[in-house]
Structure formats: structure tokens, C-alpha cells
Structure 1
Amino acid sequence: MNNPRPAVSWVGDAPSGALQLIDQTLLPVEYREIRCATAEVVWEAIKSLRVRGAPAIGVAAAYGVVVGCQPVAQSTRADFNAKLDSVVQYLAGSRPTAVNLFWGLDRMRRVADASPSLGSAEMLDRLLEEAKAIELEDREMCASIARHGLPLLSECKGVLTHCNTGGLATAGDGTALAVIFAAARQNPELQVYADETRPLLQGARLTAWELMQRGVSATLICDSMAGWVMHEGRVQAVIVGADRIAANGDSANKIGTYSLSILAKAHNIPFYVAAPSSTFDLTIESGKEIPIEERASAEITHAFGKQTAPDQCMTYNPAFDVAPATHITALITEKGVIQPVTKERIHAVLTGNGQ
């Protein structure tokens, strides 16, 4: 993408620097970067979807810990530790479903626990080093996911995707979109069908924008058109991202993904989920244990400032659903392709014993 800066980045040093974000709520009409210099601003950016996508949320949260601890850089280590605990707990309350958020926060906490003898200023520097390492690792994971996933799309003339899983959702090229970008480089004739992804239209506002920025042929469709597009033979694969994957392979992703997995299975079309290992939550056995965020009714009744439903209309607005492992052809990770999707195969690949 030809952005002046990645979707998530750090500007400056540890004591006075800040998290820099692309405000994704304004795309594609307006491109604006925002400076997040306090934990409160980072929390709001995550909660309001100014930054979104599980990997990007994890990176943003890590940098959020740094800005949150800046005010106590000259205090005692005891005060620093207390502030760190408070900031981690606070940021953890921004969104419940994306496990990368908690993974990133836990990693920052562990770094502090491992260096009890460092002074507060030195500890802040160390936290920034760790946050930058998380960002770099995510970028490298995106590249590896693209390499592993490319063979799965090499014979496709058309592919369907949902929500946004590109550079706006990660520190690199993306997860599912990284695979699509690689496939499009190999086959410039590849046609990508992007669900608009109601109610907040991440597919229309973000994915279509990213694909067009990269010169990839993109066709935008309403979510309800996906089944017919499959029926007509326009796509030979569906590939999506994930916000949390259970030990058995059940995968939580943007609402509408569950329906796509059923449609793909009914049409005998491969259904792929691309996600880094940090998105796996092996502490939960199945998707039944994944917390599903429910968002404000206004996202349905007054989307983008226009009322589209009667006053006092009841709504149900889950932000995510869960595609069962039985509907997933393969999970694409930076460590390799997990196929078949079973608990045993997941463990083998993630631990490096899958070859």
C-alpha cells in the first residue's frame, strides 16, 4: 500500500513518543493519522474501531502499555509496577473477543516481571523494545502466512473474502489478504469478491480500498450475495481471518463468517482461515467458550449517521460469530498449513512437530 505510514506504528522515544494510527473509521473517504499519547486514547481507538483487526489490536495494545506508563518513568519501581498493572487491566477492557489483545498485554507484563531490578526509566525503554518486537514479528508472520497459503489459491480464478484482513488489520501485509496479494502477483487475472461486511462495512470501506491500492481486481458484493456468487461458480475458494481460534479449530471472526462457512460447505468450496499463532487460544476447548462482543444498536439503526430503522426498534448486534472446525478446510499460519483441522494437528503444527 502507498500509505505514508503503516496502520500501526511508533513515533519517537520511550519517554515522549506515541502510538501513531490510521483512523480507519474515516476510510475510504478521508485518510487521517491520529497520535495516541495516553492509554485512554489508545483504549478509545481500539473500542471505536479506529484500529481493528486482531493482530493490529495486539500491537496497538503493546504500545498502549508504553504510553500508559510514561507518567511514572521517573517514579519508584513499585509505583511503575502498580501503574503497569492498572494500564494492562484497563486496556484489556477495550474489546473482549480478539485474543491478540490479551496476548500482547500479557507479553508486556511478563517482560516487566522478568526484569525486577531495572529502574523505571530503563523498564520503560525495555517495554518499548518489546512492543517493537511484537510489531516486527507480526510483519514477519504476515509474510510467512502468505508463503504457506499461496499454493492453496494457485488454481483459483476467483476468491471470496469477508471483513478486512490486510495491512490495515496487521503490522504487515495482512493474514487472508496477504495470501490474496501473493496469489494476485502470481495470477494478475485473479478476481477477488469482497463482502461489504455489515453493519460497519469493513469490506467495502477497507478491503476494497486496499485491493484497489494494490492493483488487485476487486468486486464488492453485499453479504447476502455470497451464496449466489458461489452458486454461479465465480469463486473457487473462500479465505477469511480470525480473532480467536479455539484448541479444536473453531474460529471466531467478523459476524457473517459462520454463514459463509456453511455456504462454502454446501457448494463444496474450500474454506480457509488465515491467522498467526498468536490468534490461537489453546486454553479453551471449543468455540462455545469464546466470548462474543455485542456492540451498540446504533451501528444497525443509525449506521454512518443515517437512521435506517424505526425508533425504539429492538436489535441484536454480535460483532463476531464462530465458524466450526468441521467447516474449515485448512488453517493457514506462519508455521504452516493445518489440514485437517483437528486438535492434534493444530498442536503438532504450532509446536513445530507438524512436518
Structure 2
Amino acid sequence: MKVKPIFWVEGEVAILDQRLLPEKVVYIRCKRYQQVAQTIKNMAIRGAPAIGIAAAMGVALGVWKLKSARRLEERFQKICQTLTNTRPTAHNLFWAIERMKKRFYSHKNSSLPELKRYLQKEAENILEEDIATNRKIGENGKRLIKAGITVLTHCNAGALATGGYGTALGVLRAAWESGVRFKVIADETRPYLQGARLTAWELQQEGIPVTIITDSTAGYLMAQGKINLVIVGADRIAANGDTANKIGTYSLAILAKHHNIPFYVAAPFSTIDLNIANGQQIPIEKRPGKELAYLGKKCIYPQGVNALYYAFDVTPARYITGIITEKGVIEPPFKKAINRLSRRRQNG
């Protein structure tokens, strides 16, 4: 995809406003780290890997704008905390901020101009590494895509949700690039319609056939034998394989299990939170109910009716066929496999 979700330019962070797609391609030019935090919080940028990249660039931008090294560590911690407080579920956000902290403390005795360059470079490295990681995810997962099948995906786990290639859609993109031909069904994904607006837009640009359905249609199509495979992204994966993803994923996983349809999660290894034992410990973001009640500027609910909006749910590992990462496709038992890959990673 030619459009970049996020990039550093001339001492600013340019973020594609995904709320306006596909009608408009508009970039928000963030001059201050608080603006980056706001784009994360208000869903202008979304998707766990993309949120992590934005947080890293926000940290770099915050230090970039400092005029002096006075109370440097105190101000740096404030920058990090502001970005940490934006959204609670996506693990990549916290992972990226911790990585920026390590870079800061390893160079905090450098001159301020040098420190700024170190942090900018680290944020750009996170972006570049994410694209490379996504391509590896695509290569590892493309063998799952057979000619002639129909794949269901939920929300948007494509280039827009990452540095620029995609996790779940990265698998589809890699298979398509290798010559395999198939069809995709995308759930609308209420209330932001990431499937209908973003996933469909991305696939259309790649020339991959895509059909949009309402979220509640998937079960009927599965019963009709019209869905052969499900691939979704992830916002946080617990050490046992339990996976938090966009609300509605859990329901799809149960339906897929009932109909004997393989259900895969595609995510970078950095999405796995080794400090969380299971899905019950994953913090689930609860967003304002008014986000459900409005389509654009029009309220579609009767005045005075309450709306409850959880942005994510947790799919237990027992419903997941495999987790596609840059390290390979992790299969059950997930806890042992994740621990083994984690040790291998730590040992280089």
C-alpha cells in the first residue's frame, strides 16, 4: 500500500487520520507529543503495532522539542506517562515506550542534541522493524491460504494498523503476491467500521476480491460452508495464548470452532505480554457509549438510552488454531511454545 500510516518529517510526526478514510486521505501533523497522544486516544491512529510506533515517535517528539536539559529525566517521564495513559489494551504501546526508555537511559548523559537524534532514530527503527516483522509474518502464514478458499477477517489488521504491511492482512497480501487466488469476507466491525472502511479499502487497492458483511452474518455463512478460514489480528496476547482483539472476535472464534473452521491470530511477538498469565488479566478498554450511538454526527439511538461499549474482548486459547508470528506459526500448547520462543529470543 502506497499510503503511509505514520512517519517522521522535519521534526514533526505525520499521522494518517484513519477516521476520514476512505473518503479523504488527510495527515495530522503533530508538532507536540500531546497531539500524538490525542491521535492515539481519539482513534485517528489505531491497531496495536501502529499505536506502538506512534507512542515511540511521540516520546521522540517530546524530547525533540525540549529547549534545554533542565529537569530532563522528570520531563521525559511525564512525556512517557502521557502516552502510556492513552489506551490500556494494546501491549505494543507499552512495549515501545519501554524500549524508548531504555534508549533514553543508555544515552541520558549525552548532549541534548545527540539524545534527540538517538531517540528519533530508535522510533524510526521501531517503524522499519515493524514493516520487516510484518513481512515475515506474511511469509510464515501464507502457506495457510489455499487457492479458491474464502477467508474471513475482523476489524483491520492491515498496513493501516501497523507500520505499513499488516499482520492478518499481511498474510493475505503475501499469499496474493505469491500468486495464490482467493476471496476475503470482511466484517463491518461496529462502531468504527474498520472492516468496512479500512480493510475493504486496503484489499481493493491490492486487487484482492473482498465482500463486506454485517458482524452478525458470519455464523450464517459458516453454517453454509462459505467460509474456510478465519484470520484476525491481536492487541495483546497473554503468556498462555489467550488473545485480546477487537470486540466480536471471541464470538467469531466460538462460531469457527463449532463449524470446524481453522481460526488463526496474526501478530508480532512483541504483542505477547509475558507478564500476563492469562486473558483474565488483560485490561479491556471501555470507551464512551456515545461512540456507539452516533454514525457521523447523527444519533441513531433514542435520546436517554444507555450504550455500553467495550472496545475489545478476549478469545481463550482453546479456540485458537495457531498464532502466526515473525518467529513462525505457534501451535498449542501455546504456553510451552511461547516460553520456548521467548527464551530463544532472549539468548539472541
TM class by smaller structure:
over 0.9
- Contact conserved, 1:326 with 1:341, CA < 8 A, in 2? no
1:27 to 12, 21, 27: 21
Deviation at 1:68, TM superposition (A): 1.2
**How many correspondences in the alignment?**
345
Q: Distance in 2 between matches of 1:269 and 1:244?
A: 23
TM-score, scaled to structure 1: 0.94
1:9 to 7, 10, 13: 7
Q: Distance in 2 between matches of 1:118 and 1:189?
A: 53
1:308 to 300, 304, 312: 300
SS in 2 for 1:10: strand
Deviation at 1:225, TM superposition (A): 0.3
After superposition, give the CA deviation of every residue in 1:291-321 in whole Å (9 maximum; x if it has no partner). Answer: 0001111111113221111111112100000
Q: Distance in 2 between matches of 1:89 and 1:309?
A: 36
1:192 to 184, 187, 190: 184
Q: Could you tell which deviates more after superposition, 104-113 or 146-155?
A: 146-155
Q: Distance in 1 between matches of 2:343 and 2:222?
A: 35
- Contact conserved, 1:140 with 1:172, CA < 8 A, in 2? no
- Contact conserved, 1:176 with 1:239, CA < 8 A, in 2? yes
Structure 1 residue ranges (4+ consecutive) displaced by more than 6 angstroms after TM superposition:
none
2:79 — aligned with what?
Answer: 87
The amino acid across from 1:252 in the alignment is: A
2:276 is equivalent to residue 284 of structure 1: yes
The 5-angstrom pairing of residues 76-225 of structure 1 reads 76=69, 79-154=71-146, 157-187=149-179, 189-225=181-217
2:245 is equivalent to residue 253 of structure 1: yes
Q: Distance in 1 between matches of 2:130 and 2:180?
A: 26
1:57 — aligned with what?
Answer: 51
- Contact conserved, 2:262 with 2:321, CA < 8 A, in 1? yes
Q: Distance in 1 between matches of 2:295 and 2:87?
A: 20
1:75 — aligned with what?
Answer: 68
Q: Distance in 1 between matches of 2:148 and 2:255?
A: 18
Q: Distance in 1 between matches of 2:263 and 2:240?
A: 16
1:37 — aligned with what?
Answer: 31
Closer, same or farther: CA 158–341 of 1 in aligned 2, 3 Å: farther
- Contact conserved, 1:2 with 1:213, CA < 8 A, in 2? no
The amino acid across from 2:36 in the alignment is: V
2:224 — aligned with what?
Answer: 232
Q: Could you tell which deviates more after superposition, 210-219 or 154-163?
A: 154-163
1:296 — aligned with what?
Answer: 288
The amino acid across from 1:130 in the alignment is: E
- Contact conserved, 2:61 with 2:120, CA < 8 A, in 1? no
SS in 2 for 1:238: strand
What is the Cα-based RMSD across aligned positions, in Å?
1.3
Deviation at 1:188, TM superposition (A): 5.3
The amino acid across from 1:7 in the alignment is: P
SS in 2 for 1:351: helix
The amino acid across from 1:235 in the alignment is: I
Deviation at 1:155, TM superposition (A): 5.0
SS in 2 for 1:25: helix
After superposition, give the CA deviation of every residue in 1:4-51 in whole Å (9 maximum; x if it has no partner). Answer: xx1011112xxxx11111100001111111111111110110011111
Q: Which runs of 5+ in 1 are unaligned?
A: none
Q: Distance in 1 between matches of 2:263 and 2:341?
A: 19
Q: Distance in 2 between matches of 1:188 and 1:305?
A: 41
Q: Distance in 1 between matches of 2:150 and 2:247?
A: 22
The 5-angstrom pairing of residues 340-351 of structure 1 reads 340-351=332-343
Give the % identical residues.
Answer: 48
Deviation at 1:79, TM superposition (A): 2.0
SS in 1 for 2:88: coil
Closer, same or farther: CA 65–246 of 1 in aligned 2, 3 Å: same
Q: Distance in 2 between matches of 1:191 and 1:71?
A: 47
Q: Distance in 2 between matches of 1:211 and 1:276?
A: 21
Deviation at 1:118, TM superposition (A): 0.6
Q: Distance in 2 between matches of 1:183 and 1:325?
A: 25
SS in 2 for 1:168: helix
Q: Distance in 2 between matches of 1:280 and 1:154?
A: 27
Closer, same or farther: CA 152–341 of 1 in aligned 2, 3 Å: farther
2:264 — aligned with what?
Answer: 272
SS in 2 for 1:107: helix
After superposition, give the CA deviation of every residue in 1:95-139 in whole Å (9 maximum; x if it has no partner). Answer: 010011111111101111112321222111110111011111101
Deviation at 1:156, TM superposition (A): 5.5
Q: Distance in 1 between matches of 2:15 and 2:334?
A: 37
- Contact conserved, 1:23 with 1:50, CA < 8 A, in 2? yes
- Contact conserved, 1:330 with 1:341, CA < 8 A, in 2? no
